[in-house]
Structure 1
Amino acid sequence: EIIMNAIENPTYEYQVGGSLRGDAPSYVVRKADLELEMALKNGEFCYVLNPRQSGKSSLKIRTKNKLEAEGFACAAIDLSGMGGSGITIDAWYAGLVYELESNFQLEENFNLDAWWFQYSLLSPVERLRVFIEEVLLARVGENIVIFFDEIDSILGLNFPPDDFLNWVSDCYKKRSYKPEYQRLNLVLLGVTTPQALISLINNSNQKLFNWGRPIELSGFQLNEVPSLAPGLINKASNPEAVLKSVLSWTGGQPFLTQKLCQIIARSPVFLTDGSETMEVQKLVRECLVNNWELQDEPEHLKTIRNRLLFGNNSSSKLLKIYKSILQKGDKLAKNSPAELELRLSGIVKKTGDRLQVYNSIYKLIFNLDWLDSVL
């Protein structure tokens, strides 16, 4: 019904790759949007650990905008931009404090260089703690939410990143005896597993991910995608039938769904009633599957391939699990490190207690012939 009532928008565009603005016409609101917003309003620690190009950054931007519109003070910090593996622990934490100062516009009557030097006897993470308590919480009266994106980048630092994760945990422990911490909330986003992060934390803080709220980014469902219909109004008699066909190919994977909709919108073919299944299949084969390495712009399929083949030391184990899922249709999930890594590549998803290949496009491209060539 909603899709049938979509209104034509001459400036409408699908966005393939990159972060969508929260008000982008083609933004698809999912269960995760509502979950994250409500959890943060309730003061819960949240983590969004999902594969690349699954919509984490777009979710972050939209949630930040919504919270700010309701009076929250928010900051979004990309930890991958804090310096490479060669950065010193001092410089990393100084950069983090600078980002917080800048995001919350605390520059007035605050000299970061002098302040950092004044507390030089303290460890870098201790200086972060003092900054949060004596500067941020003292000067910002609203409820505060800080989004730390690309949390997986801390795994590549040349100093132990456990202090940072222990600090995250301590922020929540302090709520019971330092009431001002009840106004501070944190979100971790990235391409890693809770297990990989837990392995860095000392024993007393390892429950952080037990009581935190995991936000799962599942594929788009048909009832969630009316926002994708306007771009198809002039391309099809029945946009809803086209979107059904699109989702049957992409499994609702956000990047591929936007890309296939864009391919249809730019195609010279008009999809008449009843032709949707056949025409969409033709476009999938012509524009996504055939010569996929040449057509993979912006990169998506190569990102999955590279994570499978070069992302870690256990690529042969990952490929063997994938082969078993591909041959049998699904597999009982055991949540082993290799299975979790396979899910992070984006090629498989967990449905109930079963692992399945995420969608039909991946099945066609990363097929048994491809597996035989790389194993």
Structure 2
Amino acid sequence: MAVLLGLLVLSAPTRAARIAVGPYLQAPSETSMTVMWITDVNAVSWVEYGTGESLDQKAHRSRHGLIDADRTIHTVTIEGLAPGREYRYRVCSKEIVTFKPYEVTYGETVASDTYTFTTLDGRKDSISFIVLNDIHERNEVLISLTRLAQSQPFDLVFLNGDILGHIENEPQIIDHVLAPCTALFAKQTPFVYVRGNHETRGKFARRLPDYITLPDGRYYHSFDHGPVRFVVMDGGEDKRDTDKEYSGLVDFDRYRAVQRKWLEAEIRSEAFRKAAFRVVVVHMPPQPSERWHGPDDMYQTWRTLYNEGKVDLVISGHTHHYEIRPPVEGVCEYPTIIGGAPQDGAATVVRVDATADHLRVTMTRDDGQIVGTYAIDKVKADSAAAL
């Protein structure tokens, strides 16, 4: 604000916004990529991108004709991209100092370094992805497991639930998910957040979708990459909706029933049926249980559709005991891979390598020891290596 002192006009100095965390990649597809980041002040933001050495294109987010402004969480989807192509990008934010109806005052522009990403490609011959689960805010476990996995390249990362505990505030999400993942891989490799039962708890749990991108606004969705059709499901809570822990604020039985109807359509879709492999990623493994209502409800309502759709693999966590469950004819006609616990010596990272003919699973413990493998061959009989 200018202050007149005699003939001298002093203006309050402007400063650039600071990128507090990010950028991190979300919601990948063959023709788009979503970039998110957080600034320390309200700003208007955009992404500059291009192929080769050029950053000659610009994308911003607008809704109902208005460009997003005066906010700290920034989400920009770059559209019209080509499948399987590498792009360079950087994010830019300009602080909004004052926001009046006919006058907006800006601060300086801050820009990130330049990074690359590659769009998905359903025609790609081979792909690799990793799955992490049940970290429960132990950053050192998240870091050590990811670094183990980074000995070989991968296309995608699935955070398969309970990466967080009860969600109470924004710093918790930043400190235990966004900041470490951005530092480790998320500037160049997208992650898919699969909600766990712990991430439904806490006063800030309903705000989690503000910090990640949910395709079609849902935690459950499907997409293709290479020979794999991915189906992401959300089991919700493990207890009954009526349990006292939830204070009458949950509705997961109906939510799982809605997902069943969606899954019925999914397994009949052309994309699902023509995929070489069909992989379900869900935090809680569907299993019969007298004690735990959520996994039992999933077992009773989703398992038959997994069988009918000839799902090739289910990847879960939740139990805190790493395990490979082979298929059981007439019951669960698909193998289930269950990742480990957050404790030292029990945490795991699951790696999957897929081609049109083969799918290979490797489960590695936090000490670097391979503790389980599973192989699916579209020509020969499936085989598993027991833990």
TM-score with structure 1 setting the length:
0.28
Flag the structure with more relative contact order, 1 or 2, with Cα contacts below 8 A and sequence separation at least 6.
1
Greater fraction of residues in strand: 2
Greater fraction of residues in helix: 1
